Each structure stands twice: as C-alpha cells, then as structure tokens.
Structure 1
Amino acid sequence: MVKITPFKAVRPQRAKAGLVASRPYGEYNEAEMRARLDYNPYSFLHILNPGYKFQQTISGTQKFQLIKNRYLEFKEENTFVQDENPCFYIYKMETRDLSCCGIIAAASAEDYKNGIIKKHEETIASRESLFKDYVKTVGFNTEPVLLTYEDQPEIQEILAKIMQQNPEYEFATRQREMHYLWKVDSKAEIEQIQQFFSKMESIYIADGHHRSASSFLLSQESAKNNEHHTGKESYNHFLSYFIPENHLKIYQFRRLITDLNDYSKEDFLIKLDEHFRIENRKLDAYKPEQKHHFKMYLDGEFYSLYLRKTSMHFTDTLSQLDCQILYDLVLKPILGINDLRNDKRISYIPGKNDILEMKNLIDNGEFAIGFGMLPVSISEIKKIADEGLTMPPKSTYIEPKLRSGLTIYEF
C-alpha cells in the first residue's frame, strides 16, 4: 500500500514562476551562474547561492543558515506564497528529448522504512547526514525525489481531465523546454488519486536515493525529539515526484580513467582480449547496439568490445549489468579502480552528452581512456531493487530533472 499525501506548497506568484525556477544547481557553469545572479533578482539561485550577496564563497553550516535567510526574504517580499489547503500538483515538462507528466506530492518516510519505497543504489552515510542537517537547518525541500511506478491508465485519465483546465504555471525556458503546473485541491480528486496508489504494493526510487535516506533520518530524529509525536507531522514525509516509468528517460554514465595503471597500450589491449573480442574502429565513434557490447576510446581511436560467451558467468541480475561487468573485468582487475565512489582516477559524464566531450577530454590529456555502454533498463532497475541488490555508483542518469523553486515543501 503506497501512501501519497497532499501538502501546502510554498510557490512563486504566477507572474514570477518562470523567473524563479532554476535548473539543478550542479548544471550551471560559473559564467551561467554569474549571469543568472547578476540579471535575475527572482532566480531561486539567489537562495541556493547566498554568498553572492556578500561577494564571497560561503560553505558549511554558515551557508545553510544564509540559505534559510534568503528563503525567508523571498517569502517576506511575497515572491513566494503558500497554498491555504493541502494539494497535489500535476507537473508536466516537454523538451526536445522528453515529455513527462506526474504528481508532486509527499511520500511516506514509513514506506521507505518498510521497503514499500524500493531503492537500487547504495548511499554514503556522510552525505546522508550532511543533507539531513541541511534540510533541518533551512526548513524546506525543493528537489523532489523521483519515484516511479508501472503505468496506470486510470491515474493518467484523472490527470488528463484535470489538465483540461488552465494551468497555474505555463512558461518556456532558454533551453526550449515547456513547463506546466496544475493545482489539485479538490478533495474528491485527491482521494481518488490516493485510492489508486493505495492498491500498489511498492514504488521505486528512480533518482534521489540520498534525499530519501536523509529525509528518513530526519523523520527518525524529529520523532525522537518530539514528545507529542503523532505521525502526521510534515517531517514524516518528503517531497516527491510520482511519475509513470514509461515517462522516464534513462541514460548511461560514461567512465573516464586518468591512466592505464602502468600498462602500455599494447599490454592493456592484450589483457582486455581475455574477456572481449576487440575491433579497432579508428575514428568511427562506435555506438553499442546491444547488452554486453562496450565503446572504448583510447589513444585517438575508438574500439568496440564484445563480451566473450566464455566470460558470461552470471549469478544474479547485478552480475549481468554492463556497468558491473565493466567493473568486474576491467576497472578493478586491470586498471586498479577498487572504490568507484572515491577513487580520484575515475570520473563520470552523462551519456546524453555528445561523445565529443569524452573524446576531447582524452585527447587533451586529462584522461587516458573512456568507456561507454547501453543504458540500464527500467526492468533491470526494478529487478535489482526487488532482489535487494544495489547497482554500482553512477549506473544511471535519469530524466526528468525538475526545475527548483516551483513547489517547496516546508518541514
């Protein structure tokens, strides 16, 4: 039984929504960030980058408190207002590559604890604790966890009916995206949506494992410190975007390594030959066409790697993943990359980026070799979660990436 809960979102005034909304913080380079901060006083980036006001870089707990201060200023200036009644919010996003529509609502920390909300990635305790302290200090969350479920036509029919009305927000971006938001405040429609979700046995985290884990930690800590805890407090839930799995776009992460672990190019290729059939593609940027086929770029040339049948020793769903195969047969035993999270010799770039990005980084000498593969499928993600397994870090780059600042959940 999946619980989905309406909440009173803090939102920008209709006329300012497009100005407030920002892309995920990490997507901006320094020049873009400076331009937004210099010329758009309503950008949510002013909240996330409070040091701009003082023309200095601020970090740690001091930054958390200043983020809270900037947020309160936006509320005091009525850039943000809060809905009077708990609502669901239908969010639709259209890009050149993606069209998605789902429900922004509060997910249950108890569902996370009980495994109804299923995960497929490991989290790092230090990051969980840091984000928990961040949310506790600032008192709000604006980045929804991406939760996905098998397509339910009945839910989509309800949403389609609501979306016949004029949206609360409708705006375009410089990236040629269209964003729409509808408010669902009808008790009958809210209950109808809740009933459909209550029939689901489980739901899956597509993106946001650390946010989920941190929110759960905060709920546990807050409940322990509240002698009047009832289970209905806002800290018992976390901001989420509930989206059908067929609305997701899943990409790979390419792996780039700084060196060949003291192997010569020739010796490295001989080591690879034990497990892969290798073809030199020269300058032809080979694109893998099926599972267990890999792209490699080394010394100015592309290669295709085909896993040999004699090396297909699979014991579970995890061992069949291409990102796991690459780790088990190449990154760890040959290149000496044991810790995929913390080894500074390995970096990752989203597979949606042009292959020239990987090529240029290697040609410029920043890295020695790069690998690509087909993306993990949603069925593989679900199997990993159902079997209680976890994927290697950076196994998936999943869209949509929602704009920040449109629906804020306060604790």
Structure 2
Amino acid sequence: MAHIVPFKAVRPTRDKVSLLAARSYDSYTPAQVESRLRDNPFSFLHIVNPGYKYDKVIAGTERYSLVRNRYLEFKEDGIFMQDKKPSFYIYKIVNRDGLEFNGIVAAASVRDYEQDVIKKHEDTIEYREEIFKNYLKTVGFNAEAVLLTYPDNDSLEAIIENGMKDRAEYEFTTTYRDTHYVWNVDDAVLVEKITSLFSEMKTLYIADGHHRSSSSFLMAKDCASENKNHTGEEPYNFFMSYLIPESDLKIYEFNRLVRDLNGLTKEEFLIKLDAVYRIENRGQEYYKPSKKHHFSMYLDGSFYSLYLRKDYKFKNALDSLDAQILHETVLKPILGIEDARNDTRLDYSHGKNDLAYVKTVVDKGDFKVGFGLLPVTTSELKQIADEGLKMPPKSTYIEPKLRSGVTIYEF
C-alpha cells in the first residue's frame, strides 16, 4: 500500500514566489537563462547555476557544492522560509490552454519505488542516475517534484475542492501564462485523512520523473548503508512528489524526426515501408493520425498516411504501442537506428509543437523525414507498467509541469 507523508517544506515568502519559481533548467534557451540571471536576483536559476556569480561555467562536484552554498544563502537572506508543521500542499495549475490540474504535493516512499508499489513505464540511464544521486547527496534537497498519478478518488477530490475554497497561500502567473495556486494543509485531522486515503491505494504510477525517483532511491540506499541507526523513516527515505488523479493527466505524443534515409533513395525507402504499411500520398494536406497504428509521415514536401497492415502481430502491451511499432518496423530495420535513446540521427518533437513544426524543420533540410503519432493513453501507460515493460524513449510528453523552487524537500 502507498506510503505518502507530509513534510515541512522550505518555500519562498509570498512576495517572492513569482520571482523565484522557475521551469526545469533544460527547458530554457541559453539566451533565456542569461536574461533571467541578469535581471532577476531572486530566480531559482541562480541556485542551480551558481557559476553565474563568478562569470564562469562550473560543472561536476564543484558545482554541486556551490548549489548548496547558494541555496543556504537564499535561506539566510530570508528569501526562503520553512513551515513549522508537517504539511501536505494542495497545488492547482491552470495552464495557458485553459487546462486545470489539481493535486497534492507530498513525500513518497523509496521503499514503495523499490517494491513496485510505485510503478514505472520508462527505462532510465545508469550514468544519469549516478550523476543526479551524487547531486542530491551533496545539495541535500529536492526542488522538482516527481509527477505521480493515482486512481480517481472521490474522498481526495472532496478534500482538495474544500481546501481550495480558502485563500491560496500562493497565487501567481508566470511569463509562460500558467497560473499556479498553493494551499497549505497542516490540520492534523486532514493530514491523517489524506495519509490514510493514500495508504488504501495498491499502486501509484510515475507519469514524469523516472530519473529523479530512481536517483532518490539510489541515494537512500547509500545513506542507509552509512547510517548505523537507520530506521527507514529518515527524510532521505522519501522524495517530493506531485500526486494527481488519472483523469487530470494530459499526455501528448512525441513525433520522430530523422536526419537521413540511411543511404536509401526516397523510392527505395517507400518500397520498404510498403511491406508493413498501406501508404497514401496526401500531398500538402496536414494529415494527423486519428486511430492507433496509424502514422503520419512528412517526406520531400508531401504528407503521407501510413496504416499498419492488419497481419502485424502483437505479443504484449508494449508491442502494440505506436512508438514501439514505429521503432521495430521503420527506425530500426529500415533507417538503421538501433539505439533510439542515443543515436544523434534521431530527434523528437512533442505534440504541442504540432506537425507544422515537423514540416518546417524537414523543409529547412535539418531532417529528411518526420513521423507523427497519436498520444499514448493513460490506460496504455498503466498496462505497460503493470506488465513490467518499458516504453521507448520519448514516448510521452506529460502535463502538468511544476515550477522548481515553489516547495522544497530537505533530507
């Protein structure tokens, strides 16, 4: 059963939260990072990019130590404060498209991760796990929550809806035009009720944050081995999570872009595709697939529809996943892409960019061919996780996206 606990969040003062909150560092262009560091002394980016203070790029363990120093300076300067009572945090996001997400920020158990109470659907890369594990051990905090999803629950929904009737502790709109609201839940009765409701759930699912959760698990193992008095309830045994009901999850597809045709002419490539797909040239029509096992393709100025032939066989949930089908029928055997995670000939564009982006970069000559897919469904994600299988890389682009630094979990 799921073990979810409240924690004493370190968080910005109400007047600083809109200035401090930041997207994931990798989502900014270098120019955007530079402008925010130059013009906003309160941005969380100053903590994760501590070399800016010295006009120097700093990496590795030296950077980790400086991240810790910068974080402590923010605390010393009163930019951060810490709650006195263990709390859950109701977190609401209304994004620029009008979609609304309501959930609870809490600490989830690494033991649940280890024992598959928290289920995974994506593979992780070992060296990235190690890097982030070492980062966490040095800095001593987690500022970006793992996104977990749970089966819709009327009792939890009622608690969240009732909590949102009060004035929010935070209410701010980002330059990205998403509006964020946060409410503290520190009433002992409510805290116990929320904890109990999650304890009745057999499984939770990672929607986004596989590397963050796996690195937290590895860090906890290290800390446990170094602690002679380890009990299993120390803060390092948990990681910060944002838990939302399955119905709130929004999943977009990741389209595929390939830089060349692996030495094939356009005609040779189409003939090889014909063995597995029914192909129709759609010309300039923006064809987007509307059914599973249908794909769009943009090649040499034209859109194509690709319909998987009906005699294609599936052995399990992964085999019937469109991203896996495309890899096994096109990317690997025809275009020679064995390692979809690391081959530089392959790139990805999430579905929010739409097929216009695919057309633009192919027409520019950056890529030779682009493929459009349907989004993975929540039920597909769960089935693959339940069967202990792993999706190909970049199979899902999932919202909501939390801001870093709004709530921070220390261990």
Partners of 1:61 and 1:357 in 2: CA distance: 38
Aligned-pair Cα RMSD in Å: 0.9
Any idea what the Cα deviations from partners look like across 1:193-220, whole Å, max 9, x if unmatched? 1111111111101111111111000111
Any idea what the Cα deviations from partners look like across 1:93-114, whole Å, max 9, x if unmatched? 0013321010000000111111
Any idea what the Cα deviations from partners look like across 1:159-201, whole Å, max 9, x if unmatched? 1111111111001122221110000000100000111111111
SS at match of 2:392: coil
Counterpart residue identity of residue 187, structure 1: A
Q: Give the corresponding residue for 2:394.
A: 394
Cα deviation for residue 64 of structure 1 reads 1.1
After the TM superposition, which residues 371-390 of structure 1 pair with which residues of structure 2 at under 5 Å, given as runs? Answer: 371-390=371-390
Any idea what the Cα deviations from partners look like across 1:263-282, whole Å, max 9, x if unmatched? 00010001001111111111
Any idea what the Cα deviations from partners look like across 1:110-141, whole Å, max 9, x if unmatched? 11111100111111111111110011111110
Partners of 1:62 and 1:300 in 2: CA distance: 49
Q: Give the corresponding residue for 1:325.
A: 325
Partners of 2:255 and 2:341 in 1: CA distance: 14
Identity of aligned residues (%): 59
Partners of 2:22 and 2:96 in 1: CA distance: 18
Partners of 1:128 and 1:304 in 2: CA distance: 39
Structure 2 unmatched runs, 5+ = none
After the TM superposition, which residues 94-243 of structure 1 pair with which residues of structure 2 at under 5 Å, given as runs? Answer: 94-97=94-97, 98-243=99-244
Q: Give the corresponding residue for 1:88.
A: 88
Any idea what the Cα deviations from partners look like across 1:67-99, whole Å, max 9, x if unmatched? 111111111101001111111011000013321
Q: Give the corresponding residue for 1:63.
A: 63
Cα deviation for residue 355 of structure 1 reads 2.2
Q: TM-score, normalised by structure 2?
A: 0.98
Cα deviation for residue 317 of structure 1 reads 0.6
Q: Give the corresponding residue for 1:350.
A: 350
Q: Give the corresponding residue for 1:263.
A: 264
Cα deviation for residue 357 of structure 1 reads 2.0
Counterpart residue identity of residue 11, structure 1: R
Partners of 1:370 and 1:299 in 2: CA distance: 10
Counterpart residue identity of residue 361, structure 1: V
SS at match of 2:15: helix
Counterpart residue identity of residue 222, structure 1: C
Counterpart residue identity of residue 165, structure 2: Q
Any conservation in 1 of the 2:147–2:209 contact (CA below 8 Å)?
yes
Partners of 2:181 and 2:330 in 1: CA distance: 45
Counterpart residue identity of residue 402, structure 1: L
Counterpart residue identity of residue 347, structure 2: S
Any conservation in 1 of the 2:110–2:238 contact (CA below 8 Å)?
yes
Counterpart residue identity of residue 274, structure 2: D
Q: Give the corresponding residue for 1:286.
A: 287
Cα deviation for residue 318 of structure 1 reads 0.6
Consecutive aligned runs of 4 or more in structure 1 exceeding 4 Å deviation: none
Counterpart residue identity of residue 91, structure 2: Y
SS at match of 2:353: coil
Counterpart residue identity of residue 218, structure 1: M
Cα deviation for residue 356 of structure 1 reads 2.4
SS at match of 2:352: coil
Cα deviation for residue 368 of structure 1 reads 0.9
Partners of 2:361 and 2:71 in 1: CA distance: 38
SS at match of 2:16: helix
SS at match of 2:333: coil
After the TM superposition, which residues 29-40 of structure 1 pair with which residues of structure 2 at under 5 Å, given as runs? Answer: 29-40=29-40
Cα deviation for residue 223 of structure 1 reads 0.4
Counterpart residue identity of residue 160, structure 2: L
Partners of 2:212 and 2:96 in 1: CA distance: 28
Any idea what the Cα deviations from partners look like across 1:296-331, whole Å, max 9, x if unmatched? 111121111111112x20111110000010011000
Q: Give the corresponding residue for 1:254.
A: 255
Counterpart residue identity of residue 64, structure 2: F
Counterpart residue identity of residue 288, structure 1: P
SS at match of 1:288: coil
Counterpart residue identity of residue 118, structure 1: K
Partners of 1:31 and 1:281 in 2: CA distance: 39
Counterpart residue identity of residue 385, structure 2: A
Q: Give the corresponding residue for 1:73.
A: 73
Counterpart residue identity of residue 89, structure 2: Y
Partners of 2:211 and 2:17 in 1: CA distance: 27
Partners of 1:140 and 1:112 in 2: CA distance: 19
Any conservation in 1 of the 2:12–2:79 contact (CA below 8 Å)?
yes
Any conservation in 1 of the 2:96–2:176 contact (CA below 8 Å)?
no
Partners of 1:175 and 1:344 in 2: CA distance: 30
SS at match of 1:349: strand
Q: Give the corresponding residue for 1:9.
A: 9
Q: TM-score, normalised by structure 1?
A: 0.98
SS at match of 1:352: helix
Cα deviation for residue 150 of structure 1 reads 1.1
Counterpart residue identity of residue 93, structure 1: I
